[in-house]
Amino acid sequence: MLRRVVQGKEIYQINNVVDIINLISLLFHFSIGCYDFNRLREPIEFDIGEEKESYHAIGRGIMNIAHLPVFRDKISAFGSPTSDSERTMITTKTEKVLIAIIDFKSSDILPDAMEKTIDCLRQYADAKNPQSLIIN
């Protein structure tokens, strides 16, 4: 997100949830994935992209994800710190979201970013029962 802003590119607007994630990413400098939870099939893992693995990335077409850190579910990889897939992207019909704040540096501001995200989701996206979890 920060790279987009620095390059002078437009920040896309889908709905309040996407706007909130973009704001949190810019405020805290984290890479954040936001996914339509109803399009995911558990288990969900954080893994490394396999040789010649790819997916349809949002606004990018086919993206090679070999050797990149990726989120994957029972179906396939669906997100990375570089770009997320069209399969699980947030739309105006999304009702339940999975938000992954990726903290490669194990920084002490992650809890603040999580708290701000939840506050904004409650205030601006009418979030019901938001939950958070830190996975090391």
Mean pLDDT within 62-91:
96
- Distance between CA atoms of residues 11 and 123, nearest Å: 21
- 43, 73 contact by CB (below 8 A): yes
Tell me the helix, strand and coil percentages in the chain, rounded to 5.
25, 25, 50
Q: In percent, how much of the chain has pLDDT > 70?
A: 96
Tokens of 70: 């990726």
pLDDT in tens, 90-111: 998 999 999 999 999 888 999 9
What is the band of 3 on the pLDDT scale with cuts at 50, 70, 90?
low
